[in-house]
């Protein structure tokens, strides 16, 4: 899950692994409500349309995915007993561990946590949508 407002090579790596691991992938797209807690973002509908996330995913990975709105850190993973794994970056691994604690309280099996390492630019700094939005780097991590 994430904002995906600037799709970059880190997102692509995370999604590639998700599609390699899963038969069907659920992508959580941060809602307006959750985004306002973190930073100013475009609204959910415009975000989804503007970045053409569905088109990108279909072109790269096929049609075995769904996009859901994330209003919290948990998304569908908290209560869906049919899910088997969660794909996270190093930054969000703790959230996945907390999710498994929440699932245990609900009597659900824990999800396998697949952690994907961050992609760094030539300076050793993480590639992020925020840095792209701020015109520090491009989607490949090169200086903008």
Q: What is the pLDDT of residues 91-104, one digit of tens each?
A: 999 999 999 999 99
Q: What's the pLDDT score for residue 73?
A: 75
Q: Which pLDDT score, from 0 to 100, does residue 85 have?
A: 95
pLDDT number for residue 28:
86
Would you give the end-to-end CA distance of the chain in angstroms?
A: 26
What is the SS3 assignment for 114?
strand
| pLDDT confidence of residue 54 | 86
Q: Measured between alpha carbons, how far is 114 from 12 in angstroms, rounded to an integer? A: 15
Please list the alpha-helical segments (H only) found in 1-142.
9-21, 32-38, 44-50, 53-61, 93-105, 129-133
pTM for the whole structure:
0.83
Give me the pLDDT at residue 49, please. Answer: 45
- CA-CA distance, 143 to 125, in Å (whole number)? 11
- Residue 136 backbone phi and psi in degrees, to 5: -80, -40
Segments of the chain scoring below 50 in pLDDT: 38, 40-42, 49-50
pLDDT at residue 36 in the model? 55
């Amino acid at each position: 899950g994430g904002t995906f407002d600037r799709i970059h090579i880190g997102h692509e790596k995370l999604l590639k692994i998700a599609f390699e691991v899963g038969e069907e992938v659920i992508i959580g797209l941060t809602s307006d409500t959750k985004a306002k807690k973190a930073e100013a973002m475009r609204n959910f509908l415009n975000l989804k349309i503007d970045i053409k996330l569905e088109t990108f995913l279909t072109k790269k990975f096929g049609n075995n995915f769904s996009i859901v709105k994330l209003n919290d850190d948990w998304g569908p993973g908290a209560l869906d007993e049919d899910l088997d794994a969660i794909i996270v970056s190093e930054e969000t691994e703790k959230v996945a561990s907390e999710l498994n604690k929440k699932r245990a309280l609900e009597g659900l099996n824990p999800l396998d946590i697949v952690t994907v390492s961050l992609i760094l630019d030539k300076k050793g700094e993480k590639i992020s949508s925020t840095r792209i939005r701020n015109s520090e780097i491009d989607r490949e991590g090169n200086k903008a």
